Amino acid sequence: MNDTNGTTRTCGLIGNPVAHSISPVIHNHLAALSGINLVYVTFPVEKSALHDAVKGAYALDILGLNVTVPYKSDVIPELVDIDPLAKQIGAVNTLVRVDGGFKGYNTDMPGLYRAMCSDGVKVEGEKVLVLGAGGAARANAFLLAYHHASEIIIMNRTIQKAQIIADAVKQAFPETAVKAMALNEFDKLSGNDYICIQATSVGLHPNDEDVVIADLAFYKKLKVGYDVICNPVETKFMKLVKEAGGEAHNGLKMLLYQGILAYELWNQCNITEEDASFVFRKMKEAMGIHE
């Protein structure tokens, strides 16, 4: 790791809680690999202090910040500018220092796309299911439309919530085929070649055996499944995808690439795939994942 000195720049993560974050491992290794004099730390921020935290970060010459739950939407009014994709999604996870304050970006979704590309999974022209109707589901639906999925189906227990997202995506991308569907209507899905993104917190540790849909018949309709969850490393959703003969991935690479994209924005640089692979190994070591 780089030694800090009087010219070391600081980046960090704001949210609550942040103590568990793997982001310092990502960014401090990236700094060492790229030879940039930068240190990345975590900043726990209470909700009532969010305005002061962003203002203070700018006053303290902080180069950039990541934003995690529960502030990805709450932070938007504190920004002096916002990237169009982040504005459409309605969530920001990366703040880049500009004149007068910070500009907001969403690197979560481009991060997932880069992870998919790394795994050899293409979105263009594919039929994709999104499980859930929260912020992650909304972001994923916009990502898929942006990258020209042929059909997007947002599946949720409460179909009205899924319909709100479908309508928003349709308004932003009128050419995209997008619709809402209740989870228990999966038997209406035609074919067995869907990509599915599990965009809920169901199955997150310690509830490792929970799953949004338990019926194996649903998983036989999937060729690829992505779970946004990183802990456990193999969720029940992933196990069912594999049991039905599909290819399954967790959210670790998405986490890696959202960090790399943020780092590239802050430092106006490009991280090689070789360095990305090295940092990915370091992430897994830090999480106690042994392959």
pLDDT one-digit tens code per residue, 153-181: 999 999 999 999 999 999 999 999 999 99
**Whether residue 19 sits in one domain with residue 63:** yes
CATH number at residue 94: 3.40.50.10860
pLDDT of 123 = 96
Q: How far is the first Cα of the chain from the last one, in angstroms, to the nearest whole number?
A: 25
Cα(2)–Cα(27) distance, rounded to whole angstroms? 11
Residue 1 lies in a domain: no
Cβ neighbours for 144, distance < 8 A, ≥ 6 positions apart: 123, 128, 130, 152, 197
CATH number at residue 162: 3.40.50.720
- Give the total number of structural domains in the chain: 2
Cα(141)–Cα(149) distance, rounded to whole angstroms? 10
**Whether residue 131 sits in one domain with residue 31:** no
pLDDT tens figures, 192-220:
999 999 999 999 989 999 999 999 999 99
**Whether residue 243 sits in one domain with residue 120:** yes
pLDDT of 289 = 86
**Whether residue 275 sits in one domain with residue 166:** no
Residues of the chain with pLDDT under 50: none
User: Which residues are known catalytic residues?
Assistant: 72
Residue 124 lies in a domain: yes
pLDDT of 231 = 86
- The domain in which residue 189 lies consists of 110-250
Cα(31)–Cα(18) distance, rounded to whole angstroms? 20
Across the chain, mean pLDDT equals 95
Instruction: Read off the pTM.
Output: 0.91
pLDDT of 1 = 55
